[in-house]
Structure 1
Amino acid sequence: MNYSFEYIDIILLAMIAGFIFLRLRGILGKRTGFEGKAPSQFEKVLNNIQTEKKATIKDTFDEESQKEFLKGAKIAYETIITDFSDNDNKLIASKPLLSKKIYDQFEEALQERNKRGHFAEITFIGVNSAKIKEHKKIDKILNVTVDFVSEVITCIKDKNKKVISGDPEKIKKIYDTWVFSRDTTSRNPNWQLVDTLT
Structure 2
Amino acid sequence: MNYSFEYIDIILLAMIAGFIFLRLRGILGKRTGFEGKNPKQFQDILKEVHQESNLKQKENFDKKAQSEFLKGAKIAYETIITDFSDNDNKLIASKPLLSKEIYEEFNKALKDRSDRGHYAEITFIGIKSADIKEHKKMDKALQVTVDFVSEIITCIRDKEKKIVSGSPDKIKTIYDTWTFSRDMRSNNPNWFLVNTLN
Aligned to 2:78, what secondary structure does the other structure show? Answer: helix
Matched, 1:157 2:176: no
Q: In the TM superposition, what is the alpha-carbon distance from 1:139 to its structure 2 partner? A: 2.1
Structure 1 distance, partners of 2:107, 2:160, is: 23
Aligned to 2:83, what secondary structure does the other structure show? Answer: helix
Structure 2 distance, partners of 1:49, 1:171, is: 53
TM-score of the two chains, using structure 2 as the length reference: 0.73
TM-score of the two chains, using structure 1 as the length reference: 0.73
Matched, 1:121 2:126: no
Structure 2 distance, partners of 1:146, 1:57, is: 22
Structure 1 distance, partners of 2:162, 2:174, is: 23
Aligned to 2:93, what secondary structure does the other structure show? Answer: coil
Aligned to 2:71, what secondary structure does the other structure show? Answer: helix
Aligned to 1:117, what secondary structure does the other structure show? Answer: coil
Q: Amino acid of the residue matched to residue 155 of structure 1? A: C
Q: In the TM superposition, what is the alpha-carbon distance from 1:57 to its structure 2 partner? A: 3.4
Q: In the TM superposition, what is the alpha-carbon distance from 1:140 to its structure 2 partner? A: 1.2
Match in the other structure for 1:109: 109
For structure 2, list consecutive stretches of 5 or more residues without a partner in the other structure: 1-47
Structure 1 distance, partners of 2:78, 2:160, is: 27
Q: In the TM superposition, what is the alpha-carbon distance from 1:50 to its structure 2 partner? A: 8.7
Please give the per-residue CA displacement for 1:158-179, whole angstroms capped at 9, x wherever unaligned: 0000011001001110000000
Q: In the TM superposition, what is the alpha-carbon distance from 1:138 to its structure 2 partner? A: 1.7
Match in the other structure for 1:132: 132
Contact residue 57 and residue 65 of structure 1 kept, 8 A: no
Contact residue 124 and residue 153 of structure 2 kept, 8 A: yes
Structure 1 distance, partners of 2:164, 2:158, is: 7
Please give the per-residue CA displacement for 1:108-142, whole angstroms capped at 9, x wherever unaligned: 00010001100000000011110000001022100
Aligned to 1:122, what secondary structure does the other structure show? Answer: strand
Match in the other structure for 1:194: 194
Q: Amino acid of the residue matched to residue 127 of structure 2? A: V
Structure 2 distance, partners of 1:189, 1:49, is: 21
For structure 1, list consecutive stretches of 5 or more residues without a partner in the other structure: 1-47
Matched, 1:99 2:136: no
Matched, 1:84 2:84: yes
RMSD of the alignment, in Å?
1.8
Please give the per-residue CA displacement for 1:53-74, whole angstroms capped at 9, x wherever unaligned: 6543321201000000000000
